[in-house]
């Protein structure tokens, strides 16, 4: 029986459950040698998968994770050959033997229209199961491995988004914004004004779907607080004049849009490419900096103050009382100790490796430039870091050295201003 006729019998067999139908189509797809027939099988498999309920989808994911392992005998033989002679040919044979058939299966599933998006959705869905079902980590790792190849720099495209961008894409910016909520179309219009820029990466397999985007403000000097960056500016001519005068580009929000691509690095590439785009458009720009949250600071500080062992433990009752940040007298008393504690948090391992934003920017070669008091007094900013925000400065001449220092031994390259906080 040919694979196509076998497929027809699978699809028309009323005795098969939807999950069994999906499993049989999957096995047939992996055995198919014709590219045209494989593409047809992949489309039919996708139709069956779309009809599965949540329980059956989970069962199918477990099926992918537990089946399609490397052939044990072939892998052992290849390993013994490599240990015996260590040649390049033996190493290549070992790599082929270790490559799980599951990866080839996933490549074939990807042949169908919409295959990439379906596999991303699968990886997003299994994330909630990984801790309790470690066998699913094999499937997760294979998907991540393939995505890292499919979404490399040769395939993704940088685009500037503005008010002329299709509304369907702009709606997704509102939905995906992960740092500073976009409160409707008026707020979005301000973020796309002449003295603002927004750039995103796209992939041809996902037209109209941003992978990651960054929002930039063109200002004079380092921005130290969010309200001025988010304030509405109704005069477009004034905004154009501001852009022409700007000497600093502030990256104030970076949002990953696709949970299924978690762990696939885009941010470093995005920042570096946007810096080049901005430098070409605005040659007068001298500084490229972030205004970033410190999302792990409160979680780190709370236990240290609560156990009473820290000299600043007396701060805790004040930090838990009312709207202290709206009381100038009370907040001024907290300013120096909290800035000092935040400087310690951001410069001393292992805490620095826990904070995701710091780890991202320092790992990409930025310098810890300034720690800003009450840079964001919105509820989320207070909850995460008592309103403190940070400038990470990207100096194009020092990025590589800074990156090497951080990766090699955790050295945080920082400004004299931050050093002064540590010594206060």
* CA distances, 414 to each of 58, 108, 355, 395 (Å): 47, 48, 16, 12
User: Tokens standing for 92?
Assistant: 């290549």
> Which of 152, 56, 46, 141 is closest to 100 using CA atoms?
141
Selected catalytic residue, list 255, 292, 331, 385: 292
- As a whole number of angstroms, the distance between CA 252 and CA 191 comes to 11
Asked about 361 being catalytic, the answer comes back as: yes
Contact 7, 28 (CB under 8 A): yes
What residues does 371 pair with on adjacent strands? 390
> Which of 374, 367, 364, 325 is closest to 346 using CA atoms?
367
3-state secondary structure of 295: coil
Contact 182, 174 (CB under 8 A): yes
Query: Under the phi-then-psi rule, with left for phi > 0, alpha for psi from -120 to 50, and beta for the rest, what region is 388?
Result: beta
Asked about 292 being catalytic, the answer comes back as: yes
Q: What is the DSSP letter of 70?
A: P
Selected catalytic residue, list 46, 180, 203, 361: 361
Return the active site residues: 292, 361
């Amino acid at each position: 029986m040919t694979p196509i006729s076998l497929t027809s019998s699978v699809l028309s067999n009323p005795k098969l459950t939807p999950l069994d139908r999906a499993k049989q189509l999957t096995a047939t797809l992996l055995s198919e040698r014709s590219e045209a027939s494989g593409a047809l099988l992949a489309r039919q498999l996708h139709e069956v998968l779309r009809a599965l309920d949540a329980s059956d989808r989970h069962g199918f994911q477990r099926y992918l994770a537990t089946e399609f392992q490397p052939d044990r005998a072939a892998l052992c033989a290849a390993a013994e050959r490599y240990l015996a002679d260590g040649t390049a040919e033996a190493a290549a044979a070992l790599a082929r033997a270790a490559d799980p058939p599951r990866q080839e299966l996933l490549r074939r599933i990807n042949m169908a229209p919409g295959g990439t998006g379906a596999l991303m959705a699968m990886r997003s869905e299994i994330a909630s199961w990984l801790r309790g079902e470690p066998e699913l980590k094999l499937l997760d790792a294979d998907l991540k491995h393939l995505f890292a190849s499919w979404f490399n720099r040769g395939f993704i495209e940088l685009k500037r988004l503005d008010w002329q961008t299709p509304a369907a894409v702009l709606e997704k910016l509102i939905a995906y914004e992960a740092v500073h909520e976009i409160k409707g179309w008026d707020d979005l219009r301000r973020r796309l004004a002449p003295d603002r820029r927004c750039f995103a990466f796209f992939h041809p397999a996902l037209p109209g779907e941003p992978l990651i985007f960054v929002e930039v403000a063109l200002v004079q000097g380092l921005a130290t607080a969010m309200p001025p960056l988010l304030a509405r500016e109704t005069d477009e001519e004034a905004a154009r004049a501001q852009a022409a005068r700007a000497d600093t580009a502030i990256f104030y929000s970076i949002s990953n849009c696709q949970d299924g691509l978690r762990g696939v690095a885009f941010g470093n590439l995005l920042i570096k490419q946007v810096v080049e785009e901005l430098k070409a458009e605005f040659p007068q720009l001298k500084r490229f900096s972030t205004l970033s949250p410190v999302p792990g600071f409160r979680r780190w500080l709370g236990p240290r103050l609560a156990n009473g062992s820290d000299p600043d433990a007396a701060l805790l009752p004040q930090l838990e009382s009312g709207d202290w940040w709206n009381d100038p007298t009370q907040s001024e008393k907290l300013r120096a100790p909290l800035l000092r504690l935040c400087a310690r948090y951001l410069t001393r391992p292992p805490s620095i490796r826990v904070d995701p934003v710091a780890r991202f920017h320092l790992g990409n070669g930025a310098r810890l430039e300034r720690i800003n008091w009450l840079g964001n007094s919105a509820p989320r900013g207070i909850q995460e870091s008592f309103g403190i925000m940070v400038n990470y400065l990207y100096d194009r001449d020092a990025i590589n050295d800074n990156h090497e220092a951080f990766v090699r031994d955790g050295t945080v390259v920082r400004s004299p201003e931050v050093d002064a906080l540590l010594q206060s």
